[in-house]
Amino acid sequence: MKKRFLSIILFYLLISFSCKNKEAKDNISNSSETNKTQEQETLNMRENDELLKIKFSEVTVSFPKSIILLNEEEPIIEAYQSDSIHIIIEMGETIEGQLIEIITDNLNNMKIEQCYETSITVMNEGPHCDLTNWRHYLSNWIELNKNTNNQFICYTYEDNEKEIFPEIDIEELKDAVLVHCGEKWHELIKEKSNPKEYPFGVGISRYYLKITGYNEKEFVSKIIILENPMGC
């Protein structure tokens, strides 16, 4: 009787283990299929994006067109004779987390790096005056990683990184506001004593992308300067 009872228990344990093992395999299979679907959806979205192409002599750089402010509909900027170019980011957009495609037949040991620059802004509820031609904080260069589609992924900064700024004297700041923003803005801040409090603020005013490599033995460096509208 005891042997029969033990046999029954063993039988049910084997069935339970078999079911759990099958369930685990099904979960792994479903997870794998979900990841493949998400990757394909991301790839499809990327393939459907219209790209802005910046053509230097040695390399072509492509961004999603929707994040860049353009005066013309033609999504190509020719910069064959230049080592640097300025472009403007659309209001409310960012390059952070965006994908960049690099096409080159000439550069070896190529890499792309990113850094940013902060500026002070003076706010008056909605309106603001940005001191983009005064002092700045410039971050260190960070080399961008590639994804599985051989696209570079723009670096995403933490909120506290976007607020870094050198120590400044409040009176120097007031003088700068008078020069760059005018008397109306100077009146707004003339009694203020702390440059780290409202109506002063700090934000990213420019991003820089640097593409470097070697064309045979010649070192090549191209800079893309992306003006970032502040106050949004």
Residue range 13-72, pLDDT digits in tens: 444 444 444 444 454 444 445 444 434 434 444 455 688 999 999 999 998 988 998 776
Say what percent of the chain tops pLDDT 70. 76
Region 166-188: what's the mean pLDDT?
A: 95
Highest mean pLDDT among 3-7, 29-33, 41-45, 102-106: 102-106
Name the residue with tokens 């078999």. Answer: 18
Rg (CA), the chain: 27
Structural domain harbouring 145: 45-227
Burial of 1 (0-12, 13-18, 19+ CB in 10 A): exposed
Could you give the 3-state DSSP secondary structure of residue 196?
coil
Number of structural domains the chain divides into: 1
Name the residue with tokens 């890499």. Answer: 111
Region 113-118: what's the mean pLDDT?
A: 98
Residue 4 lies in a domain: no
Say what percent of the chain tops pLDDT 90. 62
Higher-scoring residue by pLDDT: 187, 12 = 187
Residue 185 lies in a domain: yes
Residue 103 lies in a domain: yes
Residue 205 lies in a domain: yes
Residue 3 lies in a domain: no
Rounded to a whole number, what is the largest CA-CA distance in the chain?
A: 101
Residue 157 lies in a domain: yes
Return the pLDDT at 131: 96
Is the dihedral angle over the CA atoms 125, 131, 137, 143 positive or is it negative? positive
Residue-wise pLDDT for 117-161, tens only, equals 999 999 998 899 999 999 999 999 999 998 888 899 999 999 999
Asked whether residue 5 carries a pLDDT value surpassing 80, the answer given is no
Query: Residue 148 is which amino acid?
Result: T
Residue-wise pLDDT for 202-216, tens only, equals 999 999 999 999 998
What is the chain's mean pLDDT, rounded?
Answer: 83
Is the distance from CB of 163 to CB of 96 less than 8 angstroms?
Answer: no
CA atoms of 137 and 56, how far apart (whole Å): 28
Residue 80 lies in a domain: yes
CA atoms of 123 and 188, how far apart (whole Å): 9
Residue 136 lies in a domain: yes
